[in-house]
Every structure is written in C-alpha cells, then in structure tokens.
C-alpha cells in the first residue's frame, strides 16, 4: 500500500539516518505533496506536536507543518505571528530563515524525533521567514516568539540538524546517556 493512503506515518527517531539527510527542494506542489502535507498534519496532531518536518516521516523534501498555539499576551506580536497563528495548522514549502536581529534567546526545546528529552537551545530571537504555502502563495514575514523558534527548529530538520546538535557541552552531557539509549533501541 502506498504510504500516501495512510492516515499517519511513523516518526523517525534519533539515530535513524532519514533524519540526517539534506532534504530536496520541492519543484512543484503536486497532489503527492498535498497528500503528504495532510498526512503530516494528522501525524503531528496525534503525537501532540507543534511542528513536524518531512524528513521526520522519512520523506526527504523541504516541507514542514506547524501547529503553534496562539499567545495569550497578544501585545507585541510580530507580523508573522499576527498573520500565521490564526491559520494554524499551516504548511510551509521550501521554507528559508534569516535572522533579523543579533539578539539570542534560550528556551527549552523538545522534538517528536527525540521523545521525552528536553534541553535549552539558543537561537536568534527574530527571523525573516520566506516560504510557499500549499496553494503556492509566497510568504515573507518576520517571526518572533514560539513561532520563530518552531520555524527555525523545522528548517534545521530539512538540513539534517537535530536540536541536541546545538547544545552547549554541559547541557549535552546531561542528556548524552538518554540519547545513547534512544540510538540503541530505536535508531538504525
Ligand atoms: Zn523536531
């Protein structure tokens, strides 16, 4: 049976090679890509995630889905948060990010591919996101807050990068044992 008939796909776990590939640009948003996006949204939601990138389900293409919750404190929302948070879940095709500030923020991150492990990751506080939506519309918006962090985390997946790669040595040593266990039991 084609994977595209499935409602959900298996999420690849830390140690699996699918997570380490650089994903390919999407040349055309065809029915296959649209179906993959739909199945990825189902997979993300049933796993209770805020984001999922195609390599996490074994598809090496530059697409991710996001389901970032709205902020209660709606005072200084970035343009990206204002336009995208009300539309969740969203699909980003060929997303690119560029920091728009030198300011860095450190916040706890987790990942569906690194289950039950959390650690503080440092990233630029604001980024310019450029991407296509599933209907081909061009997005070019500045994102801050959890949205900025989630987009950066998902674009890392498209480049074969996982959040533990970004940790300071002392934080890495705290989770090294758990990562080793994941690699042994689930990775291949
Ligand atoms: Zn992740």
Using DSSP's 3-state secondary structure scheme, residue 183 falls into: helix
| pLDDT score at 7 | 85
Does residue 2 carry a pLDDT above 60?
Answer: no
Distance 13 CA to ligand 1 centre (A): 10
Give me the pLDDT at residue 164, please. 97
Instruction: Give the per-residue pLDDT at 1.
Output: 45
Helix (H, G, I), strand (E, B) or coil at 8: coil
Catalytic residues: 154
Can you give the residue ranges of every domain in the chain?
Answer: 17-185
How far, in Å, from the CA of 100 to the mean position of ligand 1?
Answer: 22
How remote is the CA of residue 111 from the centroid of ligand 1, in Å?
4
- Which one of 3.90.170.10, 3.90.45.10, 3.20.20.105, 3.40.250.10 gives the CATH number of domain 17-185? 3.90.45.10
HSE of 157, CA atoms in CB hemisphere, 13 A: 35
pTM exceeds 0.85, yes or no: yes
CA–CA separation, 124 and 153 (whole Å): 11
Task: Compute the distance from residue 156 Cα to the ligand 1 centre, in Å.
Answer: 8
Exposure on the CB side of residue 71, measured as CA atoms within 13 A: 16
């Amino acid at each position: 049976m084609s994977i595209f008939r499935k409602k959900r796909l298996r999420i690849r776990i830390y140690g699996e090679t699918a997570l380490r590939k650089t994903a390919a640009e999407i040349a055309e948003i065809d029915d296959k890509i649209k179906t993959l996006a739909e199945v990825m949204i189902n997979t993300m939601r049933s796993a209770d995630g805020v984001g999922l990138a195609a390599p996490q389900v074994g598809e090496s293409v530059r697409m991710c889905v996001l389901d970032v919750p709205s902020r209660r404190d709606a005072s200084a929302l970035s343009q990206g948060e204002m336009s995208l948070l009300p539309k969740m879940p969203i699909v980003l095709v060929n997303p690119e990010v560029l920091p728009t500030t030198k300011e860095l923020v450190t916040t706890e991150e987790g990942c569906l591919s690194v289950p039950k492990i959390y650690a503080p990751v440092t990233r630029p506080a604001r980024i310019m996101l450029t991407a296509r939506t599933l209907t081909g519309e061009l997005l070019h918006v500045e994102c801050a807050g959890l949205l900025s962090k989630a987009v950066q985390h998902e674009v890392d997946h498209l480049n074969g990068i996982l959040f533990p790669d970004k940790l300071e040595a002392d934080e890495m040593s705290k989770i090294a044992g758990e990562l080793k266990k994941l690699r042994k039991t689930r990775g291949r």
